[in-house]
């Protein structure tokens, strides 16, 4: 596994209030430069202030590389375009979690291992029955994921590499059953057990939709799902992954850390955007398809409305995942003979936004969530299940990032500073 140490650079100087701090600098394998400011407060009394960690790297990582200016995304060095067109989701999961693509034998063994752990005990799945029928699946999945730790309670110590290996497999193998259980609960349907001999994507669709033994998943559906899962598999230090790492930095176990990542993903500014995009498109459709009105609302700060599925903290040119998904969207709908008027609305909306100076100047482009929902809909996945689908895809990334941090052994507990702006000391006066 390639995990090169960053190359030291020339020290930088920070001069503040007449005090000088020599900061070590270093460069990553893709030439990203960093300044180590960990001694800044001790030497000068200052801390850095960085709203939203927009300019902060709390870690080095050898998993995923992202160049937002040039629209590059690579898992372990492999371009996302190549992985998306030539791999399966489990190959990519193996790559993220182990550092290299599996050989044929390794892949077969990995698939077998996943298959042998894919069943979740029915007594545990009864957990879903306590929720209201309309419960959001992301809430149920958060609870179920942390709940899994109770089954393996004696084997969750993050310091034990063998336990980590087992728990990584268990999570990846069992999350499809949990996701399908959340869906079936909302539909009021009986849960369906996983079926041996099916690939990961087919088995998931089987647990979601099978009504009888004759259910089989068309190959175009398997291909579309596989593609979406790969595109969502990792995205370096995004909000949910940083959450997984932050929680894990306290030595919380893998299940607890990933469950926290699921809650972070739920927000509409992160993974919840895929659901929000679909709701926005439906709203536009109901409103007679008035694109100009939507664009005007998104530009009006007082409206509190943003164009969902647009903009990204890091991508400032294009999101390579969105490009792939847009092409796939057309293909999937065509092969499945589906016409979805929301796709036309989405395309018109994109076209109008990309011509508008507001979006051009702020470098706002469609992101991964803009077109993914239209594919999910074609696969008959309902809108409130879009974000769980994102979580299903992101699982190997969360696991890989947590594993890298824990096994690296150098991460300190995440504990940011603040600048206090409340009352200064005052006395309590009674009576
Ligand atoms: N619609 C309208 N305006 C947007 C916008 C959008 N989708 N995204 C960003 N902007 C505007 C902001 O209001 C801000 O304007 P200002 O400079 O006049 O204050 C400017 O563009 C910069 O955006 P900012 O919110 O500072 O960027 P960020 O890096 O903090 O946030 C996102 C990134 C993704 C959270 C943000 O673009 C967003 O909310 N997008 C919609 C939700 C979404 O699709 N999320 C999925 C991300 S994969």
Q: What is the pLDDT of residues 199-240, one digit of tens each?
A: 999 999 999 999 988 889 989 999 999 999 999 999 999 999
Is 176 part of a structural domain of the chain?
A: yes
Q: Whose CA is nearest to atom 24 of ligand 1?
A: 313
196, with CB counted inside 10 A (0-12, 13-18, 19+), is: exposed
Distance of CA 269 to the CA centre of its chain: 12
Q: Whose CA is nearest to atom 41 of ligand 1?
A: 308
**Mean of the per-residue pLDDT values for the chain?**
96
- Say yes or no: 136 and 249 in one domain: yes
pLDDT for position 212: 86
- Say yes or no: 250 and 399 in one domain: yes
pLDDT digits (tens, 9 = 90+) for 229-257: 999 999 999 999 999 999 999 999 999 99
Percent of the chain with pLDDT over 70: 99
pLDDT for position 1: 57
CATH of the domain at 37: 2.20.28
C-beta of 170 in contact with ligand 1 (< 6 A): no
Last residue of a domain, one of 332, 360, 378: 378
C-beta of 52 in contact with ligand 1 (< 6 A): yes
C-beta of 280 in contact with ligand 1 (< 6 A): no
Is 163 part of a structural domain of the chain?
A: yes
Distance CA 320, CA 69 (A): 11
- Say yes or no: 242 and 101 in one domain: yes
- Say yes or no: 368 and 398 in one domain: no
Is 418 part of a structural domain of the chain?
A: no
pLDDT for position 410: 85
C-beta of 231 in contact with ligand 1 (< 6 A): no
Q: Are 332 and 228 in contact (CB under 8 A)?
A: no
Q: Are 113 and 174 in contact (CB under 8 A)?
A: no
CATH of the domain at 318: 1.10.230.10
Q: Residue 28 above 60 pLDDT?
A: yes
pLDDT digits (tens, 9 = 90+) for 85-103: 999 999 999 999 999 999 9
The dihedrals phi and psi of 16, each to the nearest 5 degrees, come to: -145, 135
**Ligand 1 pocket test, candidate residues 306, 358, 393, most atoms within 8 A of CB:** 306
Q: Whose CA is nearest to atom 39 of ligand 1?
A: 269
Domain count, the chain: 3
- Say yes or no: 263 and 278 in one domain: no
Distance CA 308, CA 281 (A): 9
* Residue 249: other Cβ atoms inside 10 A: 19
Is 417 part of a structural domain of the chain?
A: no
Distance CA 10, CA 15 (A): 16
Mean per-residue pLDDT for 127-144? 97
Q: Residue 192 above 60 pLDDT?
A: yes
- List, in sequence order, every residue forming a beta bridge with 12; answer none if it has no partner: 23
Distance CA 288, CA 308 (A): 19
pTM of the model: 0.96
Atom of ligand 1 nearest to the CA of 310: 7
Q: Are 40 and 48 in contact (CB under 8 A)?
A: yes
**Pairing status of strand 64-67 against strand 7-8:** unpaired
- Say yes or no: 257 and 288 in one domain: no
Six-digit token string for 386: 């879009």
CATH of the domain at 252: 1.10.580.10
- Say yes or no: 97 and 47 in one domain: no
Rounded to the nearest angstrom, the distance between the alpha carbon of 375 and the centre of ligand 1 is 24
Last residue of a domain, one of 331, 359, 378: 378
pLDDT for position 411: 86
Q: Are 374 and 346 in contact (CB under 8 A)?
A: yes
Is 67 part of a structural domain of the chain?
A: no
Distance CA 322, CA 81 (A): 11
pLDDT digits (tens, 9 = 90+) for 339-355: 999 999 999 999 999 99
- Say yes or no: 85 and 227 in one domain: yes
C-beta of 311 in contact with ligand 1 (< 6 A): yes
Atom of ligand 1 nearest to the CA of 370: 44
C-beta of 232 in contact with ligand 1 (< 6 A): no
C-beta of 178 in contact with ligand 1 (< 6 A): no
Q: Residue 284 above 80 pLDDT?
A: yes
The position carrying tokens 């008027």 is 341
Rounded to the nearest angstrom, the distance between the alpha carbon of 306 and the centre of ligand 1 is 7
C-beta of 360 in contact with ligand 1 (< 6 A): no
C-beta of 369 in contact with ligand 1 (< 6 A): yes
Is 349 part of a structural domain of the chain?
A: yes
- Say yes or no: 356 and 390 in one domain: no
Six-digit token string for 307: 């164009």
What would the 3-class secondary structure string for the chain be? CCCCCCEECCCEEEEECCEEEEECEEECCCCCEEECCCCHHHHHCCCCCCHHHCCCCCCCCCCEEEECCCCEEEECCEEHHHHHHHCCHHHHHHHHHHCCCCCHHHHHHHHHHHHHCCCCCHHHHHHHHHCCCCCCHHHHHHHHHHHHHHHCHHHCCCCCHHHHHHHHHHHHHHHHHHHHHHHHHHHCCCCCCCCCCCCHHHHHHHHHHCCCCCCCCCHHHHHHHHHHHHHHCCCCCCHHHHHHHHHHCCCCCHHHHHHHHHHHHHCCCCCCHHHHHHHHHHHHHHCCCCHHHHHHHHHCHHHCCCCCCECCCCCCCCCHHHHHHHHHHHHHHHHCCCCCHHHHHHHHHHHHHHHCHHHHHCCCCECCHHHHHHHHHHCCCCHHHHHHHHHHHHHHHHHHHHHHHHHHCCCCCCCCCCCCCCCCCCCCCCC
Six-digit token string for 67: 């160049």
Q: What are the CA-CA distances from residue 17 to residues 12, 25, 85, 104, 112 (Å)?
A: 17, 22, 55, 61, 62
Q: How confident is the model at residue 169 (pLDDT cuts 50, 70, 90)?
A: very high
- Say yes or no: 123 and 29 in one domain: no
- Say yes or no: 149 and 258 in one domain: yes
pLDDT for position 213: 80
Q: How confident is the model at residue 431 (pLDDT cuts 50, 70, 90)?
A: confident
Q: Whose CA is nearest to atom 28 of ligand 1?
A: 313
Six-digit token string for 360: 């051009």
Is 294 part of a structural domain of the chain?
A: yes
C-beta of 362 in contact with ligand 1 (< 6 A): yes
C-beta of 364 in contact with ligand 1 (< 6 A): yes
Rounded to the nearest angstrom, the distance between the alpha carbon of 291 and the centre of ligand 1 is 19
Active site residues: 312, 369
Rounded to the nearest angstrom, the distance between the alpha carbon of 370 and the centre of ligand 1 is 14
User: The domain containing residue 16 runs over which residues?
Assistant: 7-57
Is 70 part of a structural domain of the chain?
A: no
Rounded to the nearest angstrom, the distance between the alpha carbon of 346 and the centre of ligand 1 is 18
Q: Whose CA is nearest to atom 46 of ligand 1?
A: 270
Q: Residue 188 above 70 pLDDT?
A: yes
pLDDT for position 290: 94
pLDDT for position 341: 94
Six-digit token string for 278: 């679909």
The dihedral built from the CA positions of residue 105, 107, 111 and 114, taken in this order, carries a sign that is positive
Q: How confident is the model at residue 2 (pLDDT cuts 50, 70, 90)?
A: low
C-beta of 368 in contact with ligand 1 (< 6 A): yes
Q: Whose CA is nearest to atom 14 of ligand 1?
A: 362
The dihedral built from the CA positions of residue 74, 75, 81 and 82, taken in this order, carries a sign that is positive
- List, in sequence order, every residue forming a beta bridge with 19; answer none if it has no partner: 16
- Say yes or no: 45 and 115 in one domain: no
Rounded to the nearest angstrom, the distance between the alpha carbon of 200 and the centre of ligand 1 is 34
Distance CA 346, CA 349 (A): 5
Atom of ligand 1 nearest to the CA of 312: 34
Rounded to the nearest angstrom, the distance between the alpha carbon of 304 and the centre of ligand 1 is 11
């Amino acid at each position: 596994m390639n995990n090169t140490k960053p190359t030291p650079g020339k020290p930088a100087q920070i001069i503040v209030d007449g005090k000088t701090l020599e900061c070590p600098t270093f460069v990553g394998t893709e030439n990203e430069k960093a300044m180590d400011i960990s001694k800044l407060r001790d030497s000068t009394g200052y801390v850095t202030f960085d709203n939203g960690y927009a300019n902060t790297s709390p870690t080095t990582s050898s998993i995923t590389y992202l160049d937002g200016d040039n629209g590059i995304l690579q898992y372990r060095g492999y371009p996302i375009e190549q992985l998306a067109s030539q791999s399966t989701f489990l190959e990519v999961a193996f790559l993220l979690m182990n550092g290299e693509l599996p050989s044929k034998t390794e892949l077969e063994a990995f698939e077998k291992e996943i298959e042998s752990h894919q069943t979740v005990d029915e007594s545990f799945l009864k957990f879903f029955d306590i929720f209201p029928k309309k419960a959001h699946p992301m809430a149920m999945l958060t609870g179920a994921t942390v709940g899994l730790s109770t089954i393996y309670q004696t084997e969750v110590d993050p310091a034990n590499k063998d336990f980590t290996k087992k728990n990584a497999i268990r999570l990846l193998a069992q999350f499809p059953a949990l996701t399908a259980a959340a869906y079936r609960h909302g539909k009021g349907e009986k849960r369906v057990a996983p079926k041996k001999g099916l690939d990961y994507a087919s088995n998931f669709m089987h647990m979601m939709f099978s009504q009888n033994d004759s259910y089989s998943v068309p190959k175009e559906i398997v291909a579309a799902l596989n593609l979406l899962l790969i595109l969502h598999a990792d995205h370096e230090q995004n909000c949910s992954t940083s959450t997984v790492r932050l929680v894990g930095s306290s030595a919380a176990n893998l299940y607890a850390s990933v469950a926290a990542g699921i809650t972070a993903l739920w927000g509409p500014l992160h993974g919840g955007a895929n659901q929000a995009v679909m709701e926005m498109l439906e709203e536009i459709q109901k409103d007679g398809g008035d694109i100009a009105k939507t664009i005007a609302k998104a530009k009006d700060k007082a409206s509190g409305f943003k164009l969902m599925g647009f903009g990204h903290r890091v991508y400032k040119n294009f999101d390579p995942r969105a490009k792939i998904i847009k092409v796939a969207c057309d293909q999937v709908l065509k092969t499945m003979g589906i016409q979805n008027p929301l796709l036309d609305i989405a395309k018109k909306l994109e076209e109008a936004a990309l011509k508008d100076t507001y979006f051009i100047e702020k470098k706002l482009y469609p992101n991964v969530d803009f077109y993914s929902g239209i594919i999910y809909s074609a696969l008959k996945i309902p809108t409130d299940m879009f974000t769980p689908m994102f979580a299903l895809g992101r699982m190997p990334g969360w696991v890989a990032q947590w594993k890298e941090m824990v096994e690296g052994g150098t991460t300190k507990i995440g504990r940011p500073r603040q600048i206090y702006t409340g009352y200064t000391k005052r006395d309590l006066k009674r009576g």
